[in-house]
């Protein structure tokens, strides 16, 4: 498939919004769910699953399960390596800075680690301890690792059983199933509090991933549901805009009603993806698909596309800056000084762009090395066309 630059740009936007949410600056008030009760995390997870489905769905039919599994598991292992490096950073650098500075924000951030050091360190490689901001990568890794099995099952039996099972898991999360399992783990001898397992309820958020896989595969052969939505395009857009506007006004004028806090359930709960939140996600997704994506395709914002193409590396790199910046400069009652806020934003943007640029150069070197080693795969030939003379040499080799 051709690379869709507007999707890369959209991922870049999601990254910037998440960074604005995590940093202790005045941007947080604007970046934190600015369009209703939908955060950039939902969009980032959905779009990643959509790209996995659109790329590896056809490859499953062409190359088989072993090829798709090897590619996705290789990527999952790479992300797991990023996660281990981030944990090492927390256990060494952040702990040292917290003890040296005595910053209350950092000691609160490491409270579980300080209270249960052995259990936290031993359980962290198995995702049993997930410090704040380090809880989305484990979920992403697990979802990517099970994607080959989901794609294979969908090819054999269709998407209806998978979507039905995903809906049941989401319902299980709404009934408190995730918390029950965490309590069960705690009773087995691992003395960790419930907030050590991360904020995201995987049983709920898998619905976002499965929906993204389904629609990604379906872009090549749309399902009846997608065809029905497309056939009523104008009516669908009017309804989506109306629903999005209602939730936007609700957030601006009603506030935290039905949002929920802590372990309590609420229809707009972010961590368990309450039902009203899903309605808002679907409506805003339809609006974005009809309005924002065509605009990004026309504008071609190179910086956003660069960030989006290297989104996972950039996301991993932004976490240390957020942790230290929030821990050393953040205050519970007030924001840092304006000069400190500007410094944080500049440093963060510089780190993100540098990591994206280095990752782009590294991937470019890998592609060129593959070309020097021999003929390329059919997928690489579609994505990166060769100059005419080299193309003729490739044909001669075959």
Q: What is the pLDDT of residues 324-353, one digit of tens each?
A: 988 888 665 577 888 888 999 999 999 999
Question: 333 — phi, psi (to 5°)?
Answer: -95, -25
pLDDT interval class at 279 (50, 70, 90): very high
* Helix axes of 311-329 and 338-373: crossing angle, nearest 10 degrees: 160
In a domain, 387, yes or no: no
pTM assigned to the model? 0.87
pLDDT in the model for residue 183: 65
pLDDT in the model for residue 371: 44
pLDDT in the model for residue 383: 38
pLDDT in tens, 70-97: 999 999 999 999 999 999 999 999 999 9
Cα of 286 vs its chain's centroid, Å: 19
pLDDT in the model for residue 252: 82
Residue 4 near residue 298, CB atoms below 8 Å: no
CB neighbour list of residue 266: distance below 8 Å, 6 or more residues apart: 258, 259, 260, 274
pLDDT in the model for residue 199: 87
In a domain, 244, yes or no: yes
In a domain, 65, yes or no: yes
Instruction: Calculate the alpha carbon distances from 155 to 55, 71, 159, 161, 217 in Å.
Output: 14, 18, 8, 11, 10
pLDDT in tens, 176-222: 877 767 666 666 667 788 788 888 999 999 999 999 999 999 886 77
Task: Write out the chain in H/E/C secondary structure.
Answer: CCCCHHHHHHHHHHHHHHHHHHCCCCCHHHHCCCCCCCCHHHHHHHHHHHHHHHHHHHHHHHHCHHHHHHHHHHHHHHHHHHHHHHHHHHHHHHHHHHHHHCCHHHHHHCHHHHHCHHHHHHHHHHCCCCCCCCCHHHHHHHHHHHHHHHHHHHHHHCHHHHHHHHHHHHHHHHCCHHHHHHHHHHHCCCCCCHHHHCCCCHHHHHHHHHHHHHHHHHCCCCCHHHHHHHHCHHHHHHHHHHHHHHHHHHHHHCCCCCCCCCCCCCCCCCCCCCHHHHHHHHHHHHHHHHCHHHHHHHHCCHHHHHHHHCHHHHHHHHHHHHHHHHHHHCCCCCCCCHHHHHHHHHHHHHHHHHHHHHHHHHHHHHHHHHHHHCCCCHHHHHHCCCCHHHHHHHHHHC
In a domain, 381, yes or no: no
pLDDT in tens, 231-277: 667 888 999 999 999 999 988 877 766 776 655 678 888 999 999 99
| 248 vs 291: CA distance, rounded Å | 17
pLDDT in tens, 287-319: 998 899 999 988 888 999 999 999 999 999 999
Give the total number of structural domains in the chain: 1
* Helix axes of 311-329 and 136-157: crossing angle, nearest 10 degrees: 150
In a domain, 149, yes or no: yes
pLDDT interval class at 136 (50, 70, 90): very high
CA nearest to 320, candidates 17, 14, 22, 11: 22
Mean per-residue pLDDT of the chain: 85
Residue 27, burial from CB neighbour count under 10 angstroms (0-12, 13-18, 19+)? middle
For the record, the structure tokens of 358 come out as: 């280095």
Q: By percentage, how much of the chain surpasses pLDDT 90?
A: 56
Q: In which domain, by residue range, is 26 found?
A: 5-221+233-369
In a domain, 226, yes or no: no
Q: Over 90: is that where the pLDDT of 225 sits?
A: no
Averaged pLDDT, 382-392: 42
In a domain, 200, yes or no: yes
In a domain, 43, yes or no: yes
Exposure letters 179-200 (e unless 16+ CB within 10 A, then b): eeebeeebeeebebeeebbbeb
Q: Give the CA diameter of the chain.
A: 70
């Amino acid at each position: 498939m051709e690379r869709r630059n507007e999707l890369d740009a959209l991922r870049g936007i999601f990254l910037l919004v998440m960074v604005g949410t995590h940093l202790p600056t005045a941007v947080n008030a604007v970046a934190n769910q600015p369009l209703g009760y939908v955060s950039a995390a939902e969009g980032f997870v959905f779009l990643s699953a959509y790209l996995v489905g659109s790329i590896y769905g056809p490859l499953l039919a062409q190359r088989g399960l072993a090829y798709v599994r090897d590619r996705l598991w290789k990527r999952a292992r790479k992300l797991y390596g990023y996660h281990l490096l981030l944990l090492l950073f927390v256990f060494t650098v952040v702990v040292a800075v917290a003890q040296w500075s005595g910053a209350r924000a950092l000691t609160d951030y490491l409270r579980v680690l300080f209270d249960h050091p052995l259990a936290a360190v031993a359980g962290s490689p198995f995702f049993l301890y997930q410090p704040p901001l380090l809880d989305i990568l484990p979920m992403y890794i697990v979802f990517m690792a099970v994607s080959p099995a989901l794609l294979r099952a969908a090819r054999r039996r269709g998407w209806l059983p998978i979507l039905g099972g995903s809906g049941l898991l989401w319902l299980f999360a709404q009934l408190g199933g995730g918390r029950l399992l965490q309590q069960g783990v705690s009773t087995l001898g691992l003395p960790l509090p419930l907030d050590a397992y991360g904020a995201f309820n995987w049983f709920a958020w898998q619905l976002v991933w499965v929906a993204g896989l389904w629609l990604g595969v379906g872009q090549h052969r749309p399902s009846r549901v997608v065809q029905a939505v497309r056939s009523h395009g104008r009516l669908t857009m009017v309804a989506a805009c109306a629903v999005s506007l209602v939730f936007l006004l609700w957030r601006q004028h009603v506030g935290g009603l039905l949002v929920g806090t802590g372990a309590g359930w609420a229809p707009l709960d972010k961590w368990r993806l309450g039902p009203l939140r899903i309605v808002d996600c679907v409506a805003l997704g339809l609006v974005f698909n009809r309005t924002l994506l065509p605009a990004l395709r026309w504008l071609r914002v190179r910086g956003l596309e660069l960030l989006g193409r290297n989104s996972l590396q950039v996301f991993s790199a932004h976490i240390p800056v957020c942790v230290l910046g929030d821990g050393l400069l953040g205050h519970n009652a007030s924001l840092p000084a304006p000069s400190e806020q500007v410094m944080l934003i500049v440093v963060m943007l510089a780190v993100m762009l540098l990591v994206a640029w280095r990752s782009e150069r590294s991937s470019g070197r890998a592609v060129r090395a593959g070309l020097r080693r021999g003929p390329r795969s059919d997928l690489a030939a579609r994505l990166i066309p060769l100059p005419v003379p080299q193309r003729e040499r490739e044909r001669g080799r075959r």
